[in-house]
Structures are given as structure tokens and as C-alpha cells.
């Protein structure tokens, strides 16, 4: 598993505003979208393309276009939905599937409550969106799901991760082609399974408590 932690002052600046508990939901949503677009630039570095011949006003030249089958973007509901617009802005022709997962706040175990994905993901490059990688349970289950459907490689974009979650995912994804792109790698998990210093509950900060 490859882990790439973004190292850019603009990303750190936007993250600082996101972490601030005084930041309102509308600002939080706007910043999340901006951050994802920046992280997506790194995450799509190995997206598959094929040659395409075109005519410019001056001459004929060979450029590239995204290969078929098109990449699949999978936001993990609910918080991952806040990352979707930022991702498809960069890759508008990608297809989008959905996974709904919620972690039990007592046991920290994830359960899947919704799934809308192609049955066959053979030859697909998949991009999973989830802002928080805490214990790694939710993302691990999502990645396992995609590989069982035939995905060839999976890249996850997360805003924040805890070292404990990265270690757990490393084990869970052994032998599979997985890349994790992070806005920041934080210090640790607290006794409630929250990332420290973190930003709190990403879903609540995006959409309010339910
Ligand atoms: C959050 C977050 C991740 C998960 C991370 O979702 O968006 O999916 O927790 O925790 P883990 O790494 O320990 O599994 P949550 O279950 O709170 O659902 P929500 O997106 O609906 O708020
Ligand atoms: N889920 C969140 O939304 N935040 C955390 O810190 C951990 C899990």
C-alpha cells in the first residue's frame, strides 16, 4: 500500500480552517470541495489514458483521453458525499457509484447500509472518497468490497488519517494495489476512536447532526 501525504502550504492552510470548531457548515463544505480538487490532482497521477489524435488550428497532433472503462468514483456516504463535487470537477467523465457505511460509535465496527455500484468492476480504476480514516474499518471494508467485484486498483482520498488506521489498512490490503492520498496524517486516535487533533465528526460538520 502506498501512502502519499500532501505537503503544500495551501492544503495546510485550508485544513487549519477546516479543523477550527468555529468554522460554519457552508464554509466547511466549500473548503472540503477545494481540498479534494487539490488532493485529486495527486490521486489521479496514474489514471489510465490512451492516445488520441486531434487537429489543432495549426496542425495534427497526438494527445490523450481517459481510457475505457472510465474510472469509477465512490464516495462513502454520508461524509464522502461532501467530496464528490471536488473530485468530478477534475474528472468530469468519471462514473460515480455509492457506498453507504456507518460506524457504530460504541464498537467502532462499520456496517454497510447502501450500495449502488456496477456488478462487474473488472479492469476498473476506482477512487474512493472518505474524509476520515480513523480505525480504518470503514475504508478497509469499502476497499475489500471493490476488489471482490473485480477492481484492479483502488486509490482512496482522505482529508485526515490516524496512524492506527493506516497500520490497520496496511494489513487488510496486503497484496493489493492500493494507494491512499491524505491531506494530513494526524497524531493518534482518542479513546472514542476520534482523530486527534482532527476536525471532529466530518459528517456532522458538513451536514449537521442526525
Ligand atoms: C465517519 C467517516 C468514515 C468513518 C471513519 O463516518 O466519514 O466513514 O467514520 O471511521 P473508521 O476509520 O473508524 O471506520 P460515520 O460512520 O461517522 O458516518 P457518516 O459519514 O454518515 O457521518
Ligand atoms: N469519523 C469522523 O467523522 N471523525 C473522526 O475523527 C473519526 C471518525
pLDDT in tens, 192-207: 999 999 999 999 999 9
Q: What percent of the chain has pLDDT over 70?
A: 100
Tell me if residue 103 is catalytic.
yes
pLDDT in tens, 159-184: 999 999 999 999 999 999 999 999 99
pTM of the model: 0.96
pLDDT in tens, 110-121: 999 999 999 999
Nearest CA to 125 out of 199, 192, 177 is that of 177
Q: Is 133 in the pocket of ligand 1 (CB under 6 A)?
A: yes
What's the CA gap between 109 and 160, in Å, rounded?
19
Catalytic residue among 12, 16, 107, 111: 107
**Distance from Cα 103 to the centre of ligand 1, integer Å:** 6
Instruction: Read off the pLDDT of each residue in 184-191 and give the average, rounded to a whole number.
Output: 98
Query: Which class in CATH covers the domain with range 2-207?
Result: alpha beta
Tell me if residue 201 is catalytic.
yes
What's the CA gap between 57 and 181, in Å, rounded?
38
Q: Is 77 annotated as a binding residue?
A: no
pLDDT of residue 198: 98
pLDDT in tens, 134-165: 999 999 999 999 999 999 899 999 999 999 99
Residue 85 φ/ψ region, left for φ over 0, alpha for ψ in the -120 to 50 degree band, beta for the rest: alpha
Instruction: Read off the pLDDT of each residue in 60-77 and give the average, rounded to a whole number.
Output: 96
**Distance from Cα 42 to the centre of ligand 2, integer Å:** 23
* 89 neighbors 77 (Cβ within 8 angstroms): no
All structural domains of the chain with their residue ranges? 2-207
pLDDT above 90 for 209: no
Count of C-beta atoms within a 10 Å radius of residue 131: 25
pLDDT above 90 for 210: no
What's the CA gap between 36 and 183, in Å, rounded?
9
pLDDT above 90 for 75: yes
**Distance from Cα 58 to the centre of ligand 2, integer Å:** 53
* 32 neighbors 24 (Cβ within 8 angstroms): no
pLDDT of residue 59: 98
**DSSP per-residue codes, 85-128:** HHHHHH-TT-EE-EEEEEE-TTT--EEEEEEE--S--TT-EEEE
Tell me if residue 204 is catalytic.
yes
Mean predicted lDDT score pLDDT of the chain = 96
Amino acid at each position: 500500500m502506498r501512502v502519499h501525504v500532501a505537503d503544500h502550504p495551501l492544503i495546510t492552510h485550508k485544513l487549519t480552517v477546516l479543523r477550527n470548531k468555529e468554522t460554519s457548515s457552508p464554509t466547511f463544505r466549500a473548503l472540503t470541495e477545494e481540498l479534494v480538487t487539490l488532493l485529486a490532482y495527486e490521486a489521479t497521477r496514474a489514471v489510465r489514458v490512451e492516445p488520441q489524435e486531434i487537429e489543432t488550428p495549426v496542425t495534427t497532433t497526438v494527445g490523450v483521453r481517459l481510457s475505457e472503462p472510465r474510472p469509477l468514483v465512490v464516495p462513502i456516504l454520508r461524509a464522502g458525499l461532501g467530496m464528490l463535487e471536488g473530485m468530478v470537477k477534475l474528472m468530469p467523465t468519471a462514473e460515480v457509484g455509492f457506498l453507504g457505511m456507518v460506524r457504530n460509535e460504541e464498537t467502532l465496527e462499520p456496517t454497510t447500509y447502501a450500495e449502488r455500484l456496477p456488478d462487474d468492476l473488472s479492469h476498473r480504476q476506482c477512487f474512493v472518497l472518505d474524509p476520515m480514516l480513523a480505525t480504518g474499518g470503514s475504508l478497509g471494508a469499502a476497499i475489500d468490497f471493490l476488489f471482490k467485484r473485480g477492481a484492479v486498483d483502488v486509490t482512496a482520498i482522505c482529508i485526515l488519517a490516524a496512524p492506527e488506521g493506516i497500520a490497520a489498512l496496511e494489513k487488510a490490503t496486503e497484496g493489493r494495489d492500493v494507494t491512499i492520498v491524505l491531506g494530513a496524517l494526524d497524531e493518534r486516535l482518542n479513546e472514542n476512536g476520534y482523530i486527534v487533533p482532527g476536525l471532529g465528526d466530518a459528517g456532522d460538520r458538513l451536514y449537521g447532526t442526525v
